[in-house]
Structure 1
């Protein structure tokens, strides 16, 4: 089972997270760094995480500062910064871009063509950015956490169908509220939002199921803490109940943490290799060395 959305915790934090999550059934983790795209271009966003590894069972030589500024390396080539885990098997590199009002889609070309991100995700925050995500941006997955929390735009079947036909997946994160708070999304969508975000989230989450088939819906943790690793079977059981209540008939969401993430990874591979499956790089390229 695959969790595609965990905030990047630094090299040692990543190693520890993969080690601990594998014990409860996760096979691959997608480590995520965040950016914001608006009329001024694309800028990195810091996410405050709780990946302090002090006082945990294993003694580590250094406690890294968990931030988007840390380099993410892999065991490919001569790099040994993340020991015992390997890129493509134990973890993936993901970039998520918060799409804001005034976005010019062509400014995302650098990210779309980048070899450094196995998965490219976008978070629409208004009707125009949702339309761009569905029809223009060559992304792998469209994260719907902002919609579920604040409903700043309307879901239209035609736009969803367009995204699905282009091979895009949709995603909801169970800790989406925490990440949205860390990204200060309320400042982007405005302050006119309901007080009880939990009820709004459940309502909009259920509404999504009218348009998005389960095989195209990725469910991820959105975790930002070493002490809050979600059990995949617990996620499946909880979402089965939620989805069954929303749809009105029994359903099995296991595909949302297995087949759908696998398909998303394949979509990312096709994007990075222009559909060939072959990554072209020169001897001096830094591919596989730096995450950001």
Structure 2
């Protein structure tokens, strides 16, 4: 287990966000952020006829994470993680994800199930970290207490995004409805609050986000946990997924005498 201080977390910053403003996120009280790459569900396109002699090109269904310039990342004390969010409607997505080399480059994997079958698969089988939904539309199926509990027992987290709720009244209604569903069927367990912000103007101060939690049916402790403790647990869960449930990260630490301490 790492001893890194994850602190307050903002686990969904859109990759279109101006990275020159990353330092300002620390001023808003955050210690850790995740740059989110969103992958919409692919539509079935007609296969092109392969010409004789053409070499078959192996295409990765998952794009690589955003590369952040060293002068930008080096100018902030933020822990910067990479997150991927994938839309899907059925279990066939598993093959694309298993075959993807780019997927291994991400720290956090989130999914957007668009059907009940997809939601059942995410809760019971998929090796992912976060389940989230498009706030622009209502969830097209009923979330059962059994599936919610199953996801929580497997260590998955449910995300609520506040930035769309601020920007759009329809999204606000949908997000509040989803939040109250989580409260009714699962007592708001394993909830993380994030912004899904595309610009700095859409990100709120840590304490403002905690207060926004009341709008989503969270009490003061649940709101605090949604941006701190739950987020930390989510990150540690993602590390265990990547490295195995039992892992050790060894680092060289240089002391004041310029000697390397080994342990």
User: Normalised by the shorter chain, which TM-score bucket?
Assistant: 0.7 to 0.9
State the partner residue of 1:237: 211
**Distance (whole Å) between structure 2 residues aligned to residue 69 and residue 274 of structure 1:** 22
Deviating more after overlay: 230-239 vs 212-221: 212-221
Contact 2:64 2:103 in 1 (8 A): no
SS class of match (2:97): helix
Q: Which of 175, 195, 202 is 1:228 aligned to?
A: 202
Deviations 1:37-71 (A, max 9, x none): 56869745xxxxxxxxxxxxxxxxxxxxxxx7884
Q: Which of 116, 119, 127 is 1:127 aligned to?
A: 116
Report deviation, 1:150.
Answer: 1.1
Inter-CA distance 113–134: structure 2 relative to 1 (3 Å threshold): farther
**Distance (whole Å) between structure 2 residues aligned to residue 175 and residue 103 of structure 1:** 31
Inter-CA distance 116–197: structure 2 relative to 1 (3 Å threshold): closer
SS class of match (2:158): strand
- In structure 1, runs of 5+ residues without a counterpart are 45-67, 182-194, 280-292
Aligned length: 229
TM-score, normalising length: structure 1: 0.67
Contact 1:215 1:259 in 2 (8 A): no
Coordinate RMSD, CA, aligned? 3.4
Equivalence map 1:247-286=2 (5 Å): 252-278=222-248
**Distance (whole Å) between structure 1 residues aligned to residue 116 and residue 35 of structure 2:** 28
Deviations 1:135-161 (A, max 9, x none): 111001111345x84121110111112
**Distance (whole Å) between structure 2 residues aligned to residue 266 and residue 220 of structure 1:** 17
Q: Which of 157, 166, 183 is 2:145 aligned to?
A: 157
Inter-CA distance 223–261: structure 2 relative to 1 (3 Å threshold): same
Structure 2 residue 21 is the aligned partner of structure 1 residue 2: no
TM-score, normalising length: structure 2: 0.73
Structure 2 residue 157 is the aligned partner of structure 1 residue 169: yes
State the partner residue of 1:36: 40
Report deviation, 1:213.
Answer: 4.3
Structure 2 residue 79 is the aligned partner of structure 1 residue 84: no
SS class of match (1:209): helix
State the partner residue of 2:183: 209
Contact 1:243 1:251 in 2 (8 A): no
**Distance (whole Å) between structure 2 residues aligned to residue 219 and residue 94 of structure 1:** 15
SS class of match (2:217): helix
